[in-house]
Amino acid sequence: MSSDHTGTVTVYKGAGPITETTSTSAKDLAAFAKKTAFAKTLCGGVIMEVTNPEQARIAEVAGACAVMATEHLPSDIRSQRRGGGGGGVFRMCDPQLVQQIRAAVRIPVFAKARIGHFVEAQILESIGVNFVDECEVLTVADQDHHINKHNFRVPFICSCRSLGEALRRIAEGAAMIRTSGEAGTGNVVDTVRHLRAVMGEIRVLSNMDEDEVFEFAKKISAPYELVWKTKEIGRLPVLNFAGGGISTPADVALMMQLGCDGVFIGSGVFKSGDPVRHARAMVRAATRYTDPGGLADLSYGLGEAMPGLNQ
């Protein structure tokens, strides 16, 4: 989905765009509504990265609402990229591992595809993942184009660092947004900065006169219809999770209090001093984020937090 100079939203399929009219858009809008409805079932939850079926089972027992199948920890990717040669190319997870993780749990399973690599997304859809993450942590496959997510039955999540970026990804068909920091660092500073930026832009937009919205949409390079919808409801049109450097129950609560709908926890939690207890504490913090005493209880004697790297 994108916007032409007339402000008409178009859905791209096959050789050309289909202008959004009552007759042509009903099926597309219904499909997107189904994807976002599924995403809403995850609201308020914690999605945990896992690298094997055992970790997936721990995450499920801890109360995670979903797991993200991955072969490479963000911290490991970052460490390798800091070495010579850029650390190699990081691609889609092995489908066999994804299937093993799917067989181990009953909660939804996410998997990552490279930005712009629609064939990796096709493969992940074919093996039955519940969500595809067009992931900025993996090596970018297409520097100019993201995947046209409207062409898929499976819902997608994409990352953002600003309101304009979030709305552009939604226009392409993302059913969920992740406001991202620097994954693998163990430091939430960038996640906080980007989340405050998105929320701040929404507050500014909400107080604008109607005439100002057109210029604002052009300024942030986002479709007018989505900008107007965001102004109307005072938030992103889809769920907005946070991810990147979230390492402690206090970090989880910080993201929730800043206004996100849930959090992503890197699989580095399984490198912490007590992975089972740490995972459970992180999940519970997402529901007790306004209770400092409860958060203190979750943090007592938790041991060393997830290791990370400086940026």
Which residues carry out catalysis? 112
Task: Give the Cα separation of 229 and 235 in Å (integer).
Answer: 9
Candidates 233, 194, 235, 255; CA nearest to 47 is 255
Task: Give the Cα separation of 161 and 34 in Å (integer).
Answer: 26
Mention every residue, 6+ apart, whose C-beta is less than 8 A from residue 256.
262, 263, 285, 286, 289
Task: Give the Cα separation of 31 and 256 in Å (integer).
Answer: 29
> Backbone dihedral region of 116: left (phi > 0), alpha (psi from -120 to 50 degrees) or beta?
left
Task: Give the Cα separation of 149 and 171 in Å (integer).
Answer: 9
Which phi and psi angles does 82 have, rounded to 5°? Answer: -80, -15
* 33: number of Cβ within 10 Å: 11
Beta strand spans in the chain (E):
2-3, 9-13, 16-19, 46-50, 66-69, 109-114, 131-135, 156-160, 176-180, 239-243, 262-265
DSSP state of 270: G
Matching residue, tokens 């909660």:
107
- What is the bridge-based pairing of β-strands 131-135 and 46-50? unpaired
50, β-bridge pairs: 69
Task: Give the Cα separation of 30 and 273 in Å (integer).
Answer: 46
